[in-house]
């Protein structure tokens, strides 16, 4: 059992299987590592993965900015930009994110609010 990979903790999409798997990972892997890593795993990684599993959103991205970086590169067609043009493109991306958030709030578009946040 591993943290990442096709059979890792990131693949679990419910709390029951996640907790069973995390117990195995703690016993087989985490306990063998340095104390600093054990603390980081317990305080940061495990809690984030548990939230994903409870939400039914298995999978893990450790660097969401890479996704946005790709969107920006695609938007600029992988070409160097002058600063004013780059700022305009960044503003367009931010405006698009606000628009998607607004659509989620009113129940339209590709995204929707999690039930725990829908009442806000």
Q: Residues 41-45: what's their mean pLDDT?
A: 90
The answer to whether residue 62 scores a pLDDT higher than 60 is no
Whole-model pTM over 0.85: no
The count of other CB atoms within 10 Å of the CB of residue 12 is 22
- CB hemisphere CA count around 49 (13 angstroms): 25
83: tokens are 């600063």
Q: Where does residue 4 fall: left (phi above 0), alpha (psi -120 to 50 degrees), or beta otherwise?
A: beta
Q: Where are the domains of the chain?
A: 9-54, 64-118
The mean pLDDT of 82-111, rounded to a whole number, is: 90
């Amino acid at each position: 059992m591993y943290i990442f990979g096709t059979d890792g903790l990131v693949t679990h999409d419910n709390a029951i299987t996640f907790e069973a798997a995390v117990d195995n990972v703690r016993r087989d892997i985490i306990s063998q590592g340095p104390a600093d890593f054990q603390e980081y795993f317990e305080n940061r990684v495990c809690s984030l993965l548990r939230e994903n599993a409870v939400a039914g959103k298995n999978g893990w991205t450790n660097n969401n900015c890479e996704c946005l970086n790709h969107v920006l590169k695609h938007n600029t067609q992988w070409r160097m930009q002058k600063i004013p043009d780059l700022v305009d493109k960044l503003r367009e991306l931010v405006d698009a994110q606000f628009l998607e958030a607004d659509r989620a709030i009113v129940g339209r578009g590709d995204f929707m609010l999690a039930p725990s946040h829908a009442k806000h």
